[in-house]
Each structure stands twice: as C-alpha cells, then as structure tokens.
Structure 1
C-alpha cells in the first residue's frame, strides 16, 4: 500500500479522530485548568531506547489534526536507527494543543517503533537470502494500518490488509469446503462469477496436501505451515516454480534463517505485530 495515498490517509485520519474522541472527550481539563489558551511553547520528542524509529509521519498528522498551526521540525525520519538521547522532532505552537496531541502521538510512535525494530531484525537476519518477511492479520483491532505501516518502515512486506484483498484458504476453509481441491475449485468459480481478480494462497498441513494443491491451477502461493526444516526443503523442491512458497508457524528470530535456507520465498510471522515491547519515547517541554 502507498501510505501517502488518499485511501490510506482517510483510514489514518479515521484512527486519529476516533483516538482523540476516546482520549479528549469534552476537553483536556488538565491543560484547560492551568494553561492559558494564548500560551505557546515548544517540545521535543526524546528517544530513551534503541531501535528503528517509526510513526513520525503519523505524529505529524496527529499534531495537524489537533491544531493546523502547530509546526514540526523533523530531525530524524521514519526508518532511521535511533539511540538513547536522540531527538526526533520539535513541535512548536499552542501549549494546550501540544499537550492534547501528546499521548496519541507517543502511544502510536512507541508501538510502531517496536514493530519496525523487530521487523528490521528479521530483514537483517535474512539478508543474503531470497526470503522476505511478511506480516499477518494478527494486528490490534482498529489500528491495523498503523502496524502494517510500521512493518513497511522496518523493511518487511505487507501481506493482505484484510479479508477483502486476497483469498487465503486455511485449514478451516479446506475442512469446511470438503477438501483442498474442492476449496480451490469453489474459490475459482466464485472469483469468476463475481468478476474478481484476487490472488489465491492455500495452506498445506502436510506433503499430501501440497501434492493435491499442485494438481490445481491458479494458486499464487502455498503456505507451508508448521513443517520442520527437512520437510520444508522437500516441499520447496516439490513445488519448484509452479507457485511461490511461504513458511509459517511459530517462526522466530532463532529459526527464521534456517527456514530461509530451505529456499522459501516468504516467511510470515504474526509476532511482528502481536509480540513486541514498546520503544521508550517521551515528549518533553523545551525551556528557552
């Protein structure tokens, strides 16, 4: 996805408006009670950790949504490595506006930076292989685009964004449909009837299912799920160039390279978005 596209920006703005509704309610009374509405100030985004910075562009959108008159001076951009003591940006303008936007900007940046950092660790690990790291739909409800944006910033590849932009036939689909071939054939008929052009990914639980998938045409990628290294290599050899290959199932930084060395095109990991520890960031007033 192009995160600068009008479609992406609409979704990002919806997230911002909903988050501000949740946080601000009928007013930031902490600020309203003790800071004059004419007061102006300056604050800096301070990094108190190490990792890959993400969410700067989102923070910029947050500050703009809260107060178009706020000015940002960006020193470190998304995707940059950062260390303790680095300053990502300065924001100047209404003190009340800065404080109103502070928590939303920080919460998003801390999580996005954590996701980008973990993604970059996988990308660096897989350097020199043909394998790319994919994210999944295992994201926080309501902010998926932010988490997938962070994966993109970290150098990973976005998988499908939802149930609407790719067909993915997993174990339950196959079982409910009555088998691998029936699931694929029903899917292809559905796409033809609906005049839809969607890629088809099919999950395989064992070598027999892979063999059956290969008897069907039109499969874009086979998901080799929960295979060990030896069987993954055998699966990749069997599939050849008939379609792309993906390994998944509890793959970690400790095991990813071994799966990549089996020759798969992709490794997918839900841990990129569901198992991260926020990067420590804070917004501090600047006294001039």
Structure 2
C-alpha cells in the first residue's frame, strides 16, 4: 500500500542489529532447545498475523533466521508495505528445530516492532490524503534501531527527516536560547552559517511565535518549523513565509489533530509518535516440530 518506495535497509546496519540482538538473547546458545530437542528435529513455522496491519520487516525476519542457521529455508508471502488481515500467513520458514526456536524471539521482536511503526504511519498518511503535507518521522527513535525504524516509516508511506545530527543544520529552541544568552541575533547567526556551509547542506530553524518568522525567513533558511502552532496560527504563519521556504509543522500532532494541521497547507508534518509511541503489532510464530 505504500506510496513511497521504502528502498532497502543497508546490509551493514541490519547485520549489526541482528548480531547484537542474538548475542543478547543467546550469548552461549539456547540451553532449553539444546537440552530438550533432538538434534535432528525439523520445524516448519509460519509467521501469522493476529491482527490487521501493514508489514515491515519480512526480510528482517528471514535475515535473523539465516543468521542463526543458513540451513533454514524461507518463503515470504507478503511484501513490506503491503496490508494484511488477521489470520494471514506472512512468512514460512523450515529447518532445524533448535535453530528456528533460537531465532524466534529476536525475529518476532523486530518484525512486530517494525510492522507496528508502518501500521501507525499508514494511519497518519491516510488522515492527510488529498493535502500537500508529507508525514515525516523524527530522531525520537530507539537507540541502535534508527535505520530499521525509519525504513518502517517508509513502508507505511511516510518520509524520513534528517537521519542524524551530521546531516543538516537544524536550530531548535535550545539553540536559539544559547544564541540569545550570547547576544547573537538569529538572523545574523543564520547568515553566518550560510557563509560557512556547503551549498548542499540544508538549513532549518524552529520558531514558536509568529513574530519570529520574518527575521528567520529573511535570513535565508530552507525550511522553517512552526512548533506547537494552532491551525489558525499555521495559516497566518504560512502567509508570512509566502513561499520563501518550506513550512514544517511540529508539536501537538496526533491522529486527532493531523488532518486539521495538514489542511492549513504546510509542506511537512513531523510526528515523533511514529517511532516513540508505536505499539508492536500482534504477530505470532506457529511452530510444528517433527523428529
């Protein structure tokens, strides 16, 4: 269902997450399976949906299985970004039972987390359909999982904000407070930054009052973030910007408010809840073991 090509997860990032998770979950092996299960037992397992949603992480699920044991075979029945119904089979795996059960929890944790993010993102995207607004994530991600969680946002039809502090200049309220305390005007700071930055570096500034908009835009920003503005204030702020910069709305965004925010004509709506408040989707692994 995604209208945004989610692309792929960089292999090095995926390998790092999986290796860390598996080491955490079974640092010296799976004592239970190795003690109780016959070494030659074979398991066939299905990743099944207990509730409807949007899939993200089907390939991640398979990658965890293969990281534990390359002998495990897998068949993916749904693509990332695809909607599914309760009861649908999403992935089938088969291989040594000990290996399947060792990989089970890590594989489930990741696909449930990512599918929860994709599903929540899709709801925000649907709520703003027909407007110009893009739904974007923020840096409010789980430490160590940002690359995967941002992929999940794309699976749900959302867009990514800057990946890290290294990607763009983004002056927020605390930066402005330091400038004010140092006696430096925001307009002067922006113009000075422009002189030092490369021409490809994006520059964004957050404001929380309408009277701050004109000096910021006049100094030459690429994007201005209007933080915690009401819909009426957003309309007024967009009029002041007058097309000289992209307008991003942030703060106080929920499924109850996002449609009204989008209707004001903003270009971007950033939503921290996509990653910091998404509920893990209820997916289960049904296992059949044969000796």
Q: 3-state DSSP class of the match of 1:286?
A: strand
Compute the displacement of 1:154 (Å): 0.2
Equivalent in the alignment of 2:201: 198
Structure-2 residue corresponding to 1:14: 16
TM-score by length of 2: 0.92
Deviation at 1:2, TM superposition (A): 7.1
CA contact (8 A) 1:202 1:221 kept: yes
Between the aligned partners of 1:33 and 1:179, the Cα distance in structure 2 is 68
Deviation at 1:172, TM superposition (A): 1.0
Aligned counterpart, 1:277 = 279
Task: Sort the Cα spacing of 1:156 and 1:167 in 2 relative to 1 into closer, same or farther, 3 A.
Answer: same
- The Cα of 1:280 is off from its aligned counterpart by 0.7
Counterpart of 1:188 in structure 2 is 194
Task: Quote the offset at 1:286 in angstroms.
Answer: 3.0
For residue 146 of structure 1, the aligned residue among 138, 145, 148 is: 148
In the superposition, the TM-score normalised over structure 1's length comes to 0.93
What secondary structure is seen at the aligned counterpart in 1 of 2:218?
coil
**Stretch deviating more after TM superposition (236-245 or 177-186):** 177-186
Superposed, 1:46-65 pairs within 5 Å as 46-65=48-67
In 2, the alpha carbon distance for the partners of 1:74 and 1:284 equals 15
Q: Which residue of 2 aligns with 1:78?
A: 80
Aligned partner of 1:67 among 69, 73, 83: 69
Does structure 1 conserve the Cα–Cα contact (< 8 Å) formed by 2:204 and 2:222? yes
> In the alignment, is the contact (CA less than 8 A) between 2:204 and 2:225 conserved in 1?
yes
Tell me the equivalent position of 1:45. 47
Q: Is the 8 A contact 2:69 2:99 kept in 1?
A: yes
Q: Distance in 2 between matches of 1:190 and 1:139?
A: 30
The match for 2:174 is 172
CA contact (8 A) 1:136 1:269 kept: yes
Q: 1:211 aligns with which of 201, 209, 214?
A: 214
- Contact kept in structure 2, 1:173 and 1:183, CA below 8 Å: no
- Alignment check: 8 A CA contact 1:229 1:259 kept: yes
Give the total of aligned pairs.
282
- The DSSP-based 3-state class of the residue aligned with 2:205 is strand
> Is contact 1:131-1:266 (8 Å) kept?
yes
Name the residue aligned to 1:114. Answer: 116
SS of aligned partner of 1:92: strand
Q: Secondary structure at the match of 2:190?
A: helix
- Label 1:242 to 1:29 Cα distance change in 2 as closer, same or farther (>3 A): same
Unmatched runs of 5 consecutive residues or more in structure 2: none
Task: Tell me, in whole angstroms, the C-alpha distance in 2 between the residues paired with 1:287 and 1:39.
Answer: 7
Residues 171 and 205 of structure 2 are in contact (CA less than 8 Å); yes or no, is this contact kept in structure 1?
A: yes
Residue 183 of structure 1 deviates from its aligned partner by 3.1
Where does structure 1 lack aligned partners over 5 or more consecutive residues?
none
Question: Hey, what does 2:30 align to over in structure 1?
Answer: 28
SS for the counterpart of 1:283 is: strand
Q: Distance in 2 between matches of 1:3 and 1:164?
A: 22
Q: 2-side partners of 1:11 and 1:79: how far apart?
A: 20
- Give 1:4's aligned residue: 8
Contact 2:56 2:155 in 1 (8 A): yes
Aligned-pair RMSD on alpha carbons? 1.7
1: CA distance between counterparts of 2:102 and 2:115?
Answer: 21
How many Å separate the matches in 2 of 1:174 and 1:185? Answer: 14
Per-residue deviation at 1:149?
0.9
